[in-house]
Structure formats: structure tokens, C-alpha cells
């Protein structure tokens, strides 16, 4: 199942820079692991925002939730999920 996910990151302004950098490093490693597994096939930055649009390939809603809640930045994110289905006019 494919899901379009928008993630807006809202790190508290008073978070120490060293802690924020450590969380971001763990986030990058975790997200790249999911990408290598094929679970996170697409990620695009939203220009001018600390946000992204991503496509996830998950077996279920529960698997997607586990992947998203495993993100080290999850506590600092606003996330919107849209389940995707094939369009009848698609040639693929």
C-alpha cells in the first residue's frame, strides 16, 4: 500500500543545538535505512519550509504507523497521511 505523507518538523527553539544535531543524525540514518529497504521510495523537500512530502510503501496502516513513530524527530512533527490508490487512467 502506498501512502503520501507530509511531515512538518517543529523543533523547539530552546532545544540545545547539540541535541538537535544528534536527533537529526539519527533521523537521517533511520530514514536512509528505510529508503534502502524500499519502504520509503520517495522523499521531496518543501522549498522554504522544514517539511517534506514522502511516499511510503507499507503492508498496512500499522506498519506505516510503526515506521513514522520510529522517526527520531517524530515527537517534533506534524504529520498528515493520505492513502493512495491506482488511478484508472494510469498507463502503468
pTM for the predicted model, two decimal places: 0.92
CA separation for the pair 6, 81 (Å, rounded): 7
Q: Report DSSP letters for 18-36, one per residue.
A: HHHHHHHHHHHHHHHHHHH
pLDDT score, position 21: 98
CATH number belonging to the domain at 2-84, selected among 3.90.1150.10, 3.40.50.300, 3.30.70.1060, 3.30.1330.20: 3.30.70.1060
Q: Would you state the torsion angle of the CA atoms of residues 22, 23, 27, 33, taken in this order, to the nearest 10 degrees?
A: 50
Domain limits of the chain? 2-84
Q: What is the pLDDT along the chain (92 residues), one digit of tens a residue?
A: 999 999 999 999 999 999 999 999 999 999 999 999 999 999 999 999 999 999 999 999 999 999 999 999 999 999 999 999 999 999 98
Amino acid at each position: 500500500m502506498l501512502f503520501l505523507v507530509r511531515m512538518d518538523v517543529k523543533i523547539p527553539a530552546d532545544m540545545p543545538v547539540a541535541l538537535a544535531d544528534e536527533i537529526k543524525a539519527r533521523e537521517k540514518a533511520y530514514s536512509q535505512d528505510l529508503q534502502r529497504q524500499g519502504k520509503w521510495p520517495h522523499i521531496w523537500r518543501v522549498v522554504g519550509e522544514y517539511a517534506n512530502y514522502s511516499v511510503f510503501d507499507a503492508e498496512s496502516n500499522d506498519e506505516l504507523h510503526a515506521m513514522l513513530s520510529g522517526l527520531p524527530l517524530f515527537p517534533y512533527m506534524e504529520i498528515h497521511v493520505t492513502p493512495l490508490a491506482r488511478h484508472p487512467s494510469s498507463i502503468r
